[in-house]
Amino acid sequence: MKQIIECVPNFSEGNDMSVIRQITDQIEAVEGVRLIDVDPGKATNRTVVTFVGTPDEVCEAAYRAVKKASEVIDMRRHHGAHPRFGATDVCPLVPVSNITMDEVVVYARKLAERIGKELDIPVYCYEFAAFKPERRNLANCRSGEYEGLKEKLANPEWKPDFGPSKFNATAGATAVGARNFLVAYNVNLNTTSVRRANSVAFDVRERGRVMREGDPVTGRIVKDEKGNPVMIPGTLKKVKAIGWYIEEYGIAQISMNLTDITITSIHQAFDEVCKAAGERGIRVTGSEIVGVVPLKAMLDAGRHYLKLQQRSTGIPDSEIIRIAVRSLGLNDIHPFDPDKKIIEYILQDKSGKSLVDMSVTAFTEETASESPAPGGGSISATMGALGAALGTMVANLSSHKRGWDDRWEEFSDWAEKGKHYYAKLLQMVDEDTRAFNRLMDAFGLPKANEDEAQERKKAIQDATRNAMEVPLQVMQLCKDSMEVMKAMAEIGNPNSVSDAGVGTIAALAGVRGAFLNVRINASGLEDKEFVHKIIDKGEQIEQEAIRLEQEILKTVKEKIEKS
């Protein structure tokens, strides 16, 4: 699974599109990065750019964009409504999938160091990337803005984390951070009243509403010892919200920024707004996600509503997303297209060249063609994936069986396990073919001189090692998936016990087929210690899988005979 991060740099130019294009061209030139959004603001004279991709590539694109911005933006002539202190004012990195915040912090600090060292721009690290508590808040880092930057840099307490303490008159300074994903999320109401919408917004937002004496609307505002208004906190943490009227739609909305969806998720925000609105006689008619959203956020929402219905969550992601879209009313105003709104789907390779995207007929015919790939390794992974999918099917059917309502969660958990195995094995279908192609590419390297011959030999050995490790992973996954079939044969819907048996047979075929690929590649590897280790491991997996198959099929046959 690829690691994916988002970068949302803000550049201090919002009017000259030729300048903005020069910056975004740098981003789009980096392979492995997808430019998602460019949002210029004339009044703020500021452009917010959003792009996503794999971490190294995103950091490279960010560096190039910061470099170009320092060349085409002159802060001495900049004026705008938004606080700012540099040509690239802020450059946050955001974890999207398969990466931790701690890992993103490392990338952010490396990016900050490179900007400071190579571009001579003072850099402050903020949010999770901050080195000092007082610099965690972006507003503190940017205090004094560009006009006060020269004086700020002269203060030892505000020495930049990276780069010079010298004032860079044209580029200013940059804040590089790591933060959680922010979702701009609006909930639609069946009212046109901004005042009533604001009442709901104040109920839910973290800041809440001002405390008043007597009447909550007209009463005198209560203040603390320092003269600041006392606030009654709302119900949702890490949420900013306001009510507004959208003339285009003819409705009022609760406009929210979910500043940390690990604290308050989309579905939690939606449910809380529904509750608060209902208490005020207002109905929620749907919602909209502005911009893009991580896959996990949509899957979490879908699973949440499935669990409320006591339904299995071990169903395909596409079905979970459909449940989320319907439950959140994301089609209320305009259609929600997962391919255009979910980051991971935006980044998907849509060339249609992957084996798993083929129809069954096309895949079978490609296997039968003169091409040596896909071969036995990919077919073994396919058999394993189909076996695990059958086990998952039995679990899903069992969770819906009439009279078994009190056990739906147990079977849902088994379905989730089965889904994990077949999803991993589907990845291995193409991974095995890539391993084969890598080996063929290594054999095709030139060997005209000693250096080339040595480089070719190393490449062949590395590729051969990989060509053994990939089918060994397939073996392990196929064997491990049999735990699902075993459980379903024992406790699952008895009407589907034969499916658990067929899934077991397919899984064992995957184990044995993959082991043949481990063995045939072993002959070409010079590291015999590694070979013995892998073969021994493979034999252990195969013997355990054979034992499991015999045990499971015994149960299956006994249940069929009793039926």
Q: Three-class SS of residue 96?
A: strand
Residue owning tokens 């089609």:
331
Q: Three-class SS of residue 32?
A: coil
Q: Which of 23, 97, 27, 50 minimizes the C-alpha distance to 290? A: 50
For 505, the token pair is 């047979």
Cβ proximity of 175 and 123 under 8 Å? yes
Reported for 324-328, long-range contacts at CB under 8 A and 24+ positions apart, including other chains, are 324/267, 324/298, 324/299, 325/298, 327/267, 327/301, 327/302, 328/266, 328/267, 328/270, 328/286, 328/287, 328/301
What is the spatial distance between Cα 426 and Cα 461, in angstroms, rounded to a whole number?
26
The pLDDT assigned to 351 comes to 67
What is the spatial distance between Cα 432 and Cα 475, in angstroms, rounded to a whole number?
12
Q: Which of 56, 82, 357, 413 is catalytic?
A: 82
Q: Which of 89, 432, 480, 499 is catalytic?
A: 432
The pLDDT assigned to 347 comes to 84
Cβ proximity of 484 and 414 under 8 Å? yes
- The dihedrals phi and psi of 132, each to the nearest 5 degrees, come to -130, 145
- The dihedrals phi and psi of 357, each to the nearest 5 degrees, come to -90, -5
Q: Three-class SS of residue 220?
A: coil
State the pTM of this model.
0.84
For 250, the token pair is 């003819």
What is the spatial distance between Cα 185 and Cα 258, in angstroms, rounded to a whole number?
7
At CA 216, angle to CA 267 and CA 282, rounded to 5? 40
Catalytic annotation on 334? no
The pLDDT assigned to 81 comes to 82
Cβ proximity of 214 and 289 under 8 Å? no
What is the spatial distance between Cα 302 and Cα 316, in angstroms, rounded to a whole number?
11
Q: Which of 271, 297, 300, 295 minimizes the C-alpha distance to 284? A: 271
CB neighbourhood size of 139 (10 A): 8
Question: Alpha helices, DSSP H only, in 280-407?
Answer: 295-308, 317-328, 338-341, 343-346, 360-368, 376-399
Cβ proximity of 560 and 497 under 8 Å? yes
Cβ proximity of 481 and 388 under 8 Å? yes
The predicted-structure confidence for 512-531, as pLDDT tens digits, reads as follows 999 999 999 998 889 999 99
The pLDDT assigned to 218 comes to 76
Contacts of 493 (CB under 8 A, 6+ apart): 394, 397, 398, 401
At CA 408, angle to CA 403 and CA 414, rounded to 5? 130
Q: Which of 345, 351, 379 minimizes the C-alpha distance to 363? A: 379
The pLDDT assigned to 352 comes to 63
Q: Which of 57, 58, 345, 119 minimizes the C-alpha distance to 49? A: 58
Biggest CA pair distance of the chain: 91
- The dihedrals phi and psi of 256, each to the nearest 5 degrees, come to -125, 145
Q: Which of 182, 232, 183 minimizes the C-alpha distance to 205? A: 232
Burial class (CB in 10 A: 0-12, 13-18, 19+), 261: buried
Cβ proximity of 289 and 271 under 8 Å? no
Per-residue pLDDT of the chain (563 residues; tens, 9 = 90+): 789 999 999 999 999 999 999 999 999 999 989 998 898 888 889 999 999 999 999 999 999 999 999 999 999 999 988 889 999 999 999 999 999 999 999 999 999 999 999 999 999 999 999 999 999 999 899 999 999 999 999 999 999 999 999 999 999 999 999 999 889 899 999 999 999 999 999 999 999 998 888 877 778 888 888 888 888 999 999 999 999 898 888 999 999 999 999 999 999 999 999 999 999 999 999 999 988 899 999 999 999 999 999 999 999 999 999 999 999 999 998 899 999 899 989 888 776 678 998 999 999 999 999 988 899 999 999 999 999 999 999 999 999 898 898 999 999 999 999 999 999 999 999 999 999 999 999 999 999 999 999 999 999 999 999 999 999 999 999 999 999 999 999 999 999 999 999 999 999 999 999 999 999 999 888 999 999 999 999 999 999 999 999 999 999 999 999 87
Q: Work out whether strand 174-178 and strand 251-258 pair parallel, antiparallel, or are unpaired.
A: unpaired
Q: Which of 291, 288, 357 minimizes the C-alpha distance to 329? A: 288
Cross-strand bridge partners of residue 6? 52, 94
The pLDDT assigned to 246 comes to 87
The predicted-structure confidence for 474-504, as pLDDT tens digits, reads as follows 999 999 999 999 999 999 999 999 999 999 9
Residue owning tokens 């669990």:
307
Residue owning tokens 């195969």:
542
Residues in the chain: 563
Q: At what angle do helices 194-204 and 266-279 cross, to 10 degrees?
A: 130
Domains and CATH numbers, the chain: 4-178 (3.30.990.10), 183-346 (3.30.70.670), 355-562 (1.20.120.680)
